[in-house]
Amino acid sequence: MAKTIAFVFPGQGSQQVGMLADLAEHYPLITDTFKEASDALGYDLWALVQQGPAEELNRTEKTQPALLTASIALWRLWRAEGGAAPALLAGHSLGEYSALVAADVLPLADAVRLVEKRGQLMQAAVPAGEGAMAAILGLDDDAVIEGCRQASDAGVVEAVNFNTPGQVVIAGATAAVDRAIEVLKAAGAKRAMPLPVSVPSHCSLMREAADELAAYMDGLTLSDASIPVVQNVTAKAEQSVATLKPNLLEQLYRPVLWSQSVAELVNQGVTETIECGPGKVLTGLNKRIDSNLELSALGSLAAFQERLGSDS
């Protein structure tokens, strides 16, 4: 039976100093893509990615362009080397922007400036120390949602990433997240771990940032997608820019439905997901969502060449 492939693009947390160095040694297209992004941003993004320091790369307004560019460099390389075209695309959080560049919704130069602005607005929306996120393991989605409701007297706290069955991330005001951790541990969570982030992504505290991002996006030209993209907020495949754009803005303050998105890929006939970015975070999640999926990742030279050669 012929494979039906979906490409999936990772979000923040997959970055690391030195990413894609081995690929860049063999394929100039990697550094060419970073130069294109650097020219748009006004600083040497490849130097930051290769030399760090990690503290600078991990600043959200730097992380977002770096990861998007890494993913698009791999995407371009895959296509240039004759890799099969996917039937569908999806990206986790920031990764949705990478998916939209791959689908020709907006060019790389506009996209890196857009996600830089997104990172700046997210950080400005909630001052450092006032927001938090935590991963909750071992409870079903409804139990986590209920725990957040019980803790909401301490402030905004919401379930924001439905990553796999039994793995949900919560976000909100620091005091409310701390309270929700207590409530969810008492409800039977196997683990409830604060995450090392400075921004409570995908919760309602980001609504003001979304309004400002909408104003910035109004100055950009977006096109219909050449490949359908399963979006985070609906877990549905979309191609019309009239739908893609508002969903992308809502993603800033609404949950990432990753588990549901992968289920939709499978429902659409996908038999393999290929992770197009550094690391294997989504590959691990997808394995837990549907054990029947074939899984590949392209983030190293060996992995890229192995997957590329498997179809020949």
User: Which residues participate in catalysis according to the annotation?
Assistant: 93, 202
Closest CA to 118 of 135, 140, 96: 96
End-to-end CA distance of the chain: 16
Length of the chain in residues, anyone? 312
Closest CA to 11 of 55, 70, 86: 70
Tokens (6 digits) for 241: 């820019």
Give dist(CA 132, CA 198) in Å, integer: 7
Neighbours of 98 (CB within 10 A): 31
- Side chain identity, residue 312: S
The answer to whether the bond into 86 is cis (omega within 30° of 0) is no
Q: Which residues contact 107 (CB under 8 A, 6 or more apart)?
A: 101
- Residue pair 257/231 in contact by the 8 Å Cβ criterion: no
Please report, for residues 212, 220, 257, 266, 280, the alpha-carbon distance to residue 159 in angstroms, rounded to integers and kept in the order given.
Answer: 23, 31, 10, 24, 23
Name residue, tokens 């039937």: 87
Residue 202: phi and psi, rounded to 5, are 65, 15
Q: Which residues partner with 157 through β-bridges?
A: 172
- Residue pair 181/133 in contact by the 8 Å Cβ criterion: no
